[in-house]
A and B are shown apart, each in its own frame.
Chain A
Amino acid sequence: MDVRGVHLRRFESCSGRLTMIRRSFLVATTFAMLAVGALEAREWKKIRIGVEGAYPPFSEVGPDGKLKGFDIDIAYALCAKIGAECELVLQDWDGMIPALLAKKFDAIVASMSITEERKKRVDFTDKYYQTPARFVRKKGSGIEITKEGLKGKKVGVQRATIHDNYLTDNYGDVVEIVRYGTQDEANLDMLAGRLDLLLADSIALLEGLLKTEQGKDFEFVGPELRDPRWFGEGAGIAVRKEDQDLKKLLNEAIKAIRADGTYDAIAKKYFDFDIYGG
């Protein structure tokens, strides 16, 4: 920065102080008005939505650098229904809820399962899809999903997911849990042979790994896991607890896109079965 720039900055900040005092009066009056009209719904002209971008086919950054996937399309469809502008914000998975609480964005559309643990911090809309979790093994490895069969095996999961919790609670004493920041990284290490098993959402594994060229040597093993104690009630959209009006808007929008065929049109782009799950 050149010296003149610095002087200008200083000058501006001096004169800015006066405006600031005036502004704080304004803010104070606004707050007073808000307190009176607290029950009135805030107008959501623009909704900032946190997405992950590393969870194909739900959320990924395409070769052109643009976000795409089921979550992304759903987010845009919901904004369109509400009549609000959509701003997508990329956020790492394990900082997702803290970032929502810190108001970096207003809602999370990131295949986040509705669980009791998360409900302590945030509110969820109704589910917008529900799929079971499953293990994946290398073909011919012969690993079975029992306490005996899993003994000493390295199992990759995405950190802080329902799959991480399920594995920790049920097999934490026998397996070596290897935690990753994104599902992509876990898939990569499975392909490289660093892991014996993966546990994740069955669709994410199917589309992100098994159906790809490199994933042809891998297969599902064990039953579809749906126990609501760990796997929740499906994936919902998380909002801050104080934003009940936004939750209501989103719930209405989910119903609306389910009813008018928008949802099915999006789902058909990615899946050849019913992803909503009953």
Chain B
Amino acid sequence: MIDVEIVWDNLPLYLRGTWTTLWLTFTALAFGLVLAVPLAVARTSRNPLINGPVFLYTYFFRGTPLLVQLFMIYYGAGQFAWIRNSALWPLLSQAWFCALLAFTLNTAAYTAEILRGAIAATPKGEIEAARALGMSRALIFRRILLPSAFRRALPAYGNEIIFMLHGSAVASTVTIVDLTAAARIVNARYYSPYEAFLTAAAFYMALTFAITGLIRLLERRWHAHLRPHLS
């Protein structure tokens, strides 16, 4: 039978874990998005010197598991004396920084590819019309390509937010007490995996539903022109 007392007694631990999960996920998403916009623009370039390196970057971070990326940064950085003696070590020695770095680079790679696809899907006519009006390349990006690309990317980006939230569970493997780690501590203390992980699952699910609800609101606003007209 489910022992509610275990869950109740450890509620503060779960709440602190939830805060850590949210903080890590959304900080990484914010930094990742800022990085992703120039990367996506670079990916649409026909110049292989601009396009190539970014392609390699996104290929690597989308082609390897987040857990492996995190281990490479967390344990890999600690292996070399020259990193341990560098000015970066005070940051890299912190588990939260390693996790934030791995998550940011990971989500930036995925988001860049989402945006690249959205930019590539811009109807040709819009660009031709902009050119006919005498807009410069930069102005076309700012006024035509990016605004409509952001709208088109919204549903896919909503998925990315949720993937990131769920993916952040790997932070628990490098001593960060997030929602999953809270469940592992409770499991380890009471030997009750069911209570411990079911509670974490409930928290994750509530967060996921809240996020999908928010995305739906945004879509309603920015995709208003795509909704069927019922009259």
State in angstroms the CA–CA spacing of A164 and B93 once bound together: 22
Please judge, given known A-B contacts A98-B193, A159-B184, A160-B188, whether A193 and B84 are in contact too, CB under 8 Å: yes
Residues of B near A118 (CB, < 8 A) are 191
Q: In the complex, which range does the number of interface residues on chain B fall in? A: 10 to 19
Is A188's CB within 8 Å of the partner chain B? yes
Kindly list chain A residues whose C-beta atoms are within 8 Å of the C-beta of B147: none
B163 part of interface (Cβ distance < 8 Å): no
Chain B residue numbers with a CB within 8 Å of A194 are 78, 93, 95
Question: CA A192 – CA B79 in complex, angstroms?
Answer: 7
Interface residue? B187 (CB, 8 A): yes
C-alpha gap A101/B192 in the complex (Å): 11
In B43-93, which residues have CB < 8 Å from any A CB? 75, 77-79, 84, 89, 93
A180 pairs with B193, CB closer than 8 A: no
- B189 within 8 A of partner (CB): yes
B189 in complex: contacting residue of A98, A160, A188, CB < 8 Å: A160
Interface of B is mostly: helix
Docked CA distance A164–B184 (Å): 13
Binary interface encoding of chain A residues 249-278 relative to chain B, with 1 for a CB under 8 A from any of its CBs, else 0: 000000000000000000000000000000
Q: Is the CB of A188 within 8 A of B75?
A: yes
C-alpha gap A88/B84 in the complex (Å): 39
CB distance from B37 to the nearest CB of A (A): 34
Quick one: which of A216-232 are within 8 Å of B by CB?
Answer: none
Where the two chains meet, the residues of B that have a C-beta atom closer than 8 Å to any C-beta of A are 75, 77-79, 84, 89, 93, 95, 173, 175, 177, 181, 184-185, 187-189, 191, 193
| Residue contacts A-B, CB under 8 angstroms, 10 given | A94-B187, A95-B193, A159-B184, A164-B188, A178-B175, A188-B75, A189-B78, A189-B175, A191-B78, A192-B79
Instruction: Tell me the A residues contacting B by CB distance below 8 Å.
Output: 94-95, 97-98, 101, 118, 121, 159-160, 164, 178-181, 188-189, 191-194
Q: A181-B173, A193-B93 are in contact. List 12 more A-B contacts (CB 8 A).
A: A94-B187, A97-B191, A101-B191, A159-B184, A178-B95, A179-B185, A180-B175, A188-B78, A189-B175, A191-B78, A192-B84, A193-B89
